[in-house]
Structure 1
């Protein structure tokens, strides 16, 4: 049997044909029932293109109607008497023009579900909480990630929103970044493919998904004023390539520009990024909206179309100041009409006008939770398993579960992406010194109770881990000790040192000293340091596992699910291995009393951030500098074993064989890397794909390499030199098979824009 996987150009077909093939560890899931209903017949306007409809509508709009579309108001500031029926209570609102068939825009955060920070925006209104984006990326499964996107989009429109501020595809350059859990990976191919799949799934529900934060929003410290200094080639080959691939696959309706500056110009008024790259080179035809408070001038001519988060319509830069600029001639009517047309055209293209949203639509929460569980199960990464301690033996009679509120649920990250889960949070704790709507939440899925369900014959005791001596005593009398360790990450805060907070390193060391059969389950927002790694035989990275995360974790530990997750980021052995060992701007911060969190520094002096790695982000930096990480990008163990062989490369076509040579059914994640070009060592992921195999089964896998992954950006375009190229199959970015050498001819080309077309549901 031959399996063709992950050619970027064929991903849409893959998503379309395989939507129901979601998980070997949970029942197949059909597209959510809360998706927009299909009309019996297309409306009369459907025979007219979105561009023609937009041009006709804009020609009939008044100036006030046009200018109102260029601002998104904080919904909390809109009196209920002025909200039309059907507007969901979210973070942003823009009135429509009903007489012309132009709908309002109602916006909700964010990338992990229909967000509701702390449950206060819509009191106790629950949605399905997906695992973190980093957990989803660990599946290396675009079909399943696309199903998660479709589920999010369906719940979004059922709650009355038609814009979801999703699509976080920033590369993980800085492992201490507080928002890494919202992003997918450190690699442009993996990030672009998975981000595009999520966006495509969201928009299949006739709503708009953004793609964000464009671009190089790699840390929270000083995010509103820091200046990233980086050359064009480094951007094009890394961060911009991730956005480009995601744009080509997902065709997002809107781009959200970031807070930071890039080469001394704020992203939301950066003519090079917004006009030259995004629109000219890539052919993007949606609209650009700002992050909340991310506008610093009347920048409509620089590529920004809509200012977000204004306190009242007519205020701020795209309010009276825009009117004044128009009167003075520094802004033209043509520029205003162009931005309005982009917004209206996208509404028509994605079906917002013809399939209006309305709150109160049906949601099958059980079905949606099964998608979340599948993502959590496939995204769990078995990092270490000395002596095959896992899966836990069914004969274990006494299991000690320790720490991280594992008795009640699994944690989530904080900030604008935080979802109030269906059924309510199991635990909601305040953040010292922070606003009431910023909370630490635990999803209502207890690992302790799920383990009791997996091991009904065992005595399972729990200790909260606050006293290491007491926890060690409990662990010593158990057959197996499982320590849950968590790390809270949130928008607005970065980690300073990647250590587990609250003395959890000491807790793990104490338990491991008391019981040599200790398993550590990490619930983190990203990479952490592990000073105890040599004393612990088994380590599982569960990330923020979402709505049914406790169930997913227990099923992996018990062996009901064979772990198949692979790391989408590198875990450093020390901070000294990082390109920037000290977090830029960290010298200006002050910790909150009684907390590892802090207030972001004020702009007292310029904060210049450079990235010594350039385009060699993450695992490429480690390969380039010869550093050995703690755990490599792409690493992940299984309860079975796989053999890959017969690597063949012909032009840009690659084939190889995968066989399950172990005792259990499982999934392998095949990774193909470029390891040398004309004798010079390189390390670039050029293809990947999951293969589910029964014991003894084998498949031939084929894929097509995107030539941009073999090329460099030079002189305004891509340049792929002629010569010898070496490729290797990898179990990770550091464990490689025997390379295969092929000769390729030289190629140079400019970006060929991929025009957005009609988006069909996956």
Structure 2
């Protein structure tokens, strides 16, 4: 074995596998989280979320993003990025959906691979995550304190779905784009932890021919260090040796340890990793900040437009901006992908609008609307606290409805029941917000109004994750509030300030919505900014807008037909009010340049260039995972019984109409596609389609190519195979070429353990979304069994 041309000694091999890379003459790996920018670095650019970039369908933009993040990482003294995120958006409520790249394996793999390649051209090791089938947060690390943490969720998934859907983005990024690192996930897969499973850890090497280094996720990914080593986990942890010992490494088979150490040395060489330089924090990369604005404009999705957008300066001389005055909690997601905001770089939403329209033209109606914690309820509270291990209870009286820590004498695993009575002084809707880490249930007069879990709130960085409820109360009538809490889901990491606890906030009736409606009635146009927080360590409790934001939208739309709703959030949002507003613009987690980009998008100084990388459901009860065994699972087991029918594939298969389909986005002009041609030769499928701008403005067309199999059993009705973007002037036409390996059409045969290219005539369709298909043809393919080298 060797380090380049220099053989590694036995001591160097042991050093590498214990995480001491300098001991073997290799640069130490200094990691940073990076799906949305460099986390934990003062001044780093808070880019829009990964989903925003995926929405652009723009590989050139993805490359520039990768270069910018690598540049900032190196400036901050980091030489390895835990990015890109490649987890398929299987569960619409998944908390980390924003840091990955959508529901389709091709789009995820191509955008992610372009980012990874840009990292490594800059000398930064790309470590894509989370390998594999890590598609939601519930029980991802189990329940209980660090010492007593229970087993993580067990994902039961077929070999075919694993390879064709969940592992496929990783294959593209590792093989086609040559990412040299990989982060293994927390969850179990068919009974084995991903980080301890030889079947999972050897898959990239034995089936894809990859060479690289696999490291485990933080703390909880490895439960048995020796088992993980023998299964093929290269490094023991993200820094340090965790529970891996010298005796463990030296006692393992030399053939295994030699190979693992050689993989690490080879990965470092291929990625061009050099010793990390001293940090130059705080960063202030102006080019990155401009790119953040450009990315948001390219990835914002115009879901609906009744002709109102883009706004005409002459017809929109006055503008009401009701709702969330300070959207800071919506700019970034929470958790390890949350980039710290630089307050001096965050403009108020009204500032660029006022610069454009003039003083007095913009009316801001703020308030506490939004997905934020509320002032803690100050009232006498009776609390009964139980130690989960000893069973001992104690009762105490608290001056406010909060318990950030258990009382003395209670261990790390505990539960509590808190109750109080109070008498409202006003009648009307009261807003409750429970901010907590653990499992919690909120009851009002004995009726459950909210229930959820959080591993932490906030999680490492980013916003709090409040659990909200709106309850009508009557003045003078005594109300009983009850919170049932268990520390179970919470994790405890004292150095990061992460621990179980909770507080209940209350806000009485106010006139914010009334004032918003009055301002909207008096304005030419109303722009309502609303949103929902999400992130690592939680899944959202509902796809609806939390709190009273739906009431706000409806109140404004009722008095001004020229209402634009701007929705922020990591994933899909339910929009029961959609038919009552003129336009809907979805901006995901928009990052630090939100204010300027929003003004440019509203007034046509930039075009919303995004197309949905995941499906927006019409209702919560009709999604591919709307049964408990599929999500969140039963008895710690979740079954991926939908097989390949994730996202748009499920909607197509059962004939369900989504609110907005995969690939949808309107822009500010219209397009038609014609003259689709396709041929196959030499293992490549190639073809062209003619795109024409039929509108009156220049704009971006995103051409999407889908195929359907002649062997319908077990196959999705259609799958994305290629995509391309072009900018066209009014009336302009252009030929958009595409190409992909014919092996991409193959299906995995579980019985034979092989890849099969079914023979027959494949349907080929070109469209502007998975439901807006303009041109169709067929592709004859000769069937055969594929060899590993074919893929």
| TM bin (shorter chain) | 0.7 to 0.9
Q: Is the 8 A contact 2:48 2:589 kept in 1?
A: yes
Displacement of 1:450:
2.0
Provide the C-alpha distance between the structure 1 equivalents of 2:523 and 2:742, rounded to a whole number of angstroms: 55
**Quick one: structure 1 residues 678 and 342, their matched pair in 2 at CA, closer, same or farther if it must change by over 3 Å?**
closer
Q: List runs of 5+ in structure 1 lacking aligned partners.
A: 1-50, 73-93, 117-121, 427-442, 589-604, 755-762
Which among 236, 249, 253 is matched to residue 307 of structure 1? 236
Provide the C-alpha distance between the structure 2 equivalents of 1:261 and 1:392, rounded to a whole number of angstroms: 54
Structure with larger RCO (C-alpha < 8 A, sep 6+): 1
DSSP-derived class of the 2:769 partner:
coil
Match of 2:165 in 1: 238
DSSP-derived class of the 2:56 partner:
coil
Residues 436-471 of structure 1: CA deviation (Å, up to 9, x unaligned)? xxxxxxx71433212223333770011125322221
**Quick one: structure 1 residues 445 and 201, their matched pair in 2 at CA, closer, same or farther if it must change by over 3 Å?**
farther
Residues 86-112 of structure 1: CA deviation (Å, up to 9, x unaligned)? xxxxxxxx5513xx6422221111211
Displacement of 1:580:
2.0
- Is 1:141 the counterpart of 2:58? The answer is yes
Match of 2:439 in 1: none
Match of 1:347 in 2: 268
Q: Is the 8 A contact 2:764 2:777 kept in 1?
A: yes
Provide the C-alpha distance between the structure 2 equivalents of 1:240 and 1:622, rounded to a whole number of angstroms: 22
Alignment of 1:224-303 (within 5 A): 224=141, 225-275=152-202, 277-293=203-219, 294-297=221-224, 298=226, 299-303=228-232
Provide the C-alpha distance between the structure 1 equivalents of 2:340 and 2:325, rounded to a whole number of angstroms: 18
Q: Is the 8 A contact 1:679 1:724 kept in 2?
A: no
Provide the C-alpha distance between the structure 2 equivalents of 1:679 and 1:617, rounded to a whole number of angstroms: 16
Match of 1:209 in 2: 126
Residue range with higher mean Cα deviation, 579-588 or 243-252: 579-588
Which among 639, 645, 648 is matched to residue 610 of structure 1? 639
Displacement of 1:679:
7.4
Residues 683-703 of structure 1: CA deviation (Å, up to 9, x unaligned)? 111111101111222211111
Match of 2:665 in 1: 636
Match of 1:757 in 2: none
Provide the C-alpha distance between the structure 2 equivalents of 1:128 and 1:357, rounded to a whole number of angstroms: 19
- Is 1:218 the counterpart of 2:123? The answer is no
Match of 1:174 in 2: 91
Residues 705-743 of structure 1: CA deviation (Å, up to 9, x unaligned)? 332442211123321211111111112111212421232
Provide the C-alpha distance between the structure 1 equivalents of 2:282 and 2:95, rounded to a whole number of angstroms: 34
State the superposition RMSD in angstroms: 2.4
Match of 1:17 in 2: none
Alignment of 1:159-170 (within 5 A): 159-170=76-87
Larger radius of gyration: 2
DSSP-derived class of the 1:308 partner:
coil
Match of 2:748 in 1: 713
User: How many residue pairs align between the two structures?
Assistant: 627
Residues 267-287 of structure 1: CA deviation (Å, up to 9, x unaligned)? 001111211x21011112111
Alignment of 1:161-560 (within 5 A): 161-224=78-141, 225-275=152-202, 277-293=203-219, 294-297=221-224, 298=226, 299-309=228-238, 313=240, 315-316=242-243, 318-319=244-245, 323-324=247-248, 326-327=250-251, 331-353=252-274, 357-360=277-280, 365-406=285-326, 411-421=331-341, 424-425=342-343, 444-456=346-358, 459-465=361-367, 466=369, 467-560=512-605
Provide the C-alpha distance between the structure 1 equivalents of 2:743 and 2:161, rounded to a whole number of angstroms: 13
Residues 410-459 of structure 1: CA deviation (Å, up to 9, x unaligned)? 621010111114xx136xxxxxxxxxxxxxxxx71433212223333770
Provide the C-alpha distance between the structure 1 equivalents of 2:223 and 2:198, rounded to a whole number of angstroms: 14
- Is 1:663 the counterpart of 2:703? The answer is no
Provide the C-alpha distance between the structure 2 equivalents of 1:672 and 1:210, rounded to a whole number of angstroms: 29
- Is 1:69 the counterpart of 2:16? The answer is yes
Q: Is the 8 A contact 2:76 2:283 kept in 1?
A: no
Q: Is the 8 A contact 2:321 2:528 kept in 1?
A: yes
Provide the C-alpha distance between the structure 2 equivalents of 1:272 and 1:409, rounded to a whole number of angstroms: 41
Q: Is the 8 A contact 2:671 2:701 kept in 1?
A: yes
Displacement of 1:233:
0.9
Match of 2:782 in 1: 745
Q: Is the 8 A contact 2:572 2:615 kept in 1?
A: yes
Q: Is the 8 A contact 1:55 1:341 kept in 2?
A: no
Alignment of 1:12-161 (within 5 A): 52-54=2-4, 56-59=6-9, 62=11, 66-71=13-18, 94=20, 96-97=22-23, 101-116=25-40, 125-161=42-78
Which among 701, 704, 708 is matched to residue 736 of structure 2? 701
Q: Is the 8 A contact 1:640 1:660 kept in 2?
A: yes
Output the TM-score relative to the length of structure 2.
0.76
Q: Is the 8 A contact 2:625 2:631 kept in 1?
A: no
Displacement of 1:606:
4.0
Q: Is the 8 A contact 2:44 2:284 kept in 1?
A: no
Residues 30-87 of structure 1: CA deviation (Å, up to 9, x unaligned)? xxxxxxxxxxxxxxxxxxxxx743462522x62xx54443345xxxxxxxxxxxxxxx
Provide the C-alpha distance between the structure 2 equivalents of 1:716 and 1:679, rounded to a whole number of angstroms: 19
In terms of fraction of residues, the more strand-rich structure is 2
Match of 1:759 in 2: none
Displacement of 1:678:
5.7
